[in-house]
Structure 1
């Protein structure tokens, strides 16, 4: 292991602090609409019977990976969100406050890049951001686990998801206001031809109809994983395929034949 003070491995175990965040039913409803809920999904968009989508929690915890970048662990202009994990401990209330604790759980050495894993947890969930940082590898650290392989055999589910041309503009109101998702110049600086979707918005936009495909309620999500393989642009149509895997479903999403989400896995609470 490289013992140099500049080694990315030095960030492993770093405490990123504790933060109390508040939200109300308006925030939860705005989130549901931003990830594709319909006006007729009353238990997602009507405060009198509101159930909060578990992935909403990720918008409240975005400060943690942002804090790591601001602290100098990697170049925030080139690092990208590589993958996301969410484990739900209990349903979110329709409004309230969350005391979030964040840390750097792991730093993996991929050679040309490093992957920083930021974990945020509270009584309601545990979430892990995997941040891919070009130019920060090569510090003689562990490579880390390999990604989930695509299942053999034909998929059990196939459906499409139409994103909205204004979806990224709407989603950024939930907290992630990086200009690359709204400003063409900022997107070009990041190497993109135009503003693109937030990875977490795309993942949630897939998870919402996926629950319907398997007869579950989207608010009953208990576990979610996905890797962001390529950018999605507002207005793109996602082609989603999924494979039943016991009490979970494995899935991928593509745009025009290019995989944009790989290694997906979603599990929902079984209700009787």
Structure 2
């Protein structure tokens, strides 16, 4: 049950969910799952340390598929309308490399709940010995309960980017990424996509974010499996088959970044940190 918030009245508000425990779960996976994930976010057959079990290094963003149960659990408890809620932003902090296979125990809770006026933002925090992952879920129509607005969006870096790279998606990418766990119909069914005002199925936001780390790592001279911190805000959907531009500010092991298509920004306020080899 949600933890009681001393600032609320007897009438339930989104703030009531602050601190709510979402339970624990142990998820088991094997090398096949990690390789499928790598292929789904853009690894190529020649990236042997991402797709060949004898040399396998698991992409740290694979953790986000293992922990997807937690934001789903909050939605199922009725904290917000799952038909209108949006994935606003994502953060991942890597504590230790994921093993090639095994079982990972996770604990989830609701962190802060922010009042944006026209919406509420719920933070879902998932913790394990390997990572801490934080979802920010934007719930339209749930704001106005008198809570704190929370932090503002990160400011755009000054000046021209230090480097650029291309993010190339393929037409089957959403269909492939669905097999890693998120099977929401808007990523495969044209009718479902039309129901949210999109002309065709959209790519998963977490797929776009994770796929960005591969060309970004290459541009920085890093390895994508050496990712230790990642964050970004979802500005607009990417359609499978789109090509986007990654603009990066920074060098070596850390960069701020955004991702844009011809239609505008799709990821903003991005930050990636890679361990130095």
TMscore range, shorter length? over 0.9
Distance 1:6 1:106 in 2: 16
Judge conservation of contact 2:162–2:251 (CA < 8 Å) in 1: no
Distance 2:243 2:52 in 1: 27
Judge conservation of contact 2:59–2:225 (CA < 8 Å) in 1: yes
| Corresponding residue of 1:116 | 122
Note if 1:240 corresponds to 2:238.
no
Note if 1:176 corresponds to 2:182.
yes
Instruction: After TM superposition, list the pairs within 5 Å mapping 1:89-108 onto structure 2.
Output: 89-108=95-114
Q: Which structure 1 residue ranges, 4+ long, deviate > 4 Å from structure 2?
A: none
Q: CA deviation at 1:245?
A: 6.6
| Corresponding residue of 2:167 | 161
Q: TM-score, normalised by structure 1?
A: 0.98
Q: CA deviation at 1:100?
A: 0.6
| Corresponding residue of 1:260 | 266
| Corresponding residue of 2:201 | 195
| Corresponding residue of 1:31 | 37
What's the C-alpha RMSD, in Å, of the aligned pairs? 1.1
Distance 2:222 2:181 in 1: 28
Q: CA deviation at 1:4?
A: 4.1
Match of 2:232 among 226, 232, 239: 226
Q: CA deviation at 1:185?
A: 1.0
Once structures 1 and 2 are overlaid, which stretch shifts more, 240-249 or 129-138?
A: 240-249
Judge conservation of contact 2:169–2:242 (CA < 8 Å) in 1: yes
- For 1:137-187, what per-residue CA distance to the aligned partner results, in whole angstroms no more than 9, with x for missing partners? 000000000111111111011111111111000001000011111011111
Task: Give SS of 1:260's match.
Answer: strand
Distance 2:151 2:38 in 1: 33
Match of 1:217 among 173, 198, 223: 223
Question: Structure 2: which 5+ runs fail to align?
Answer: 1-6
Q: CA deviation at 1:257?
A: 4.6
Q: TM-score, normalised by structure 2?
A: 0.96
Note if 1:148 corresponds to 2:154.
yes
Aligned residues: 271
Distance 2:97 2:45 in 1: 22
Judge conservation of contact 1:2–1:140 (CA < 8 Å) in 2: no
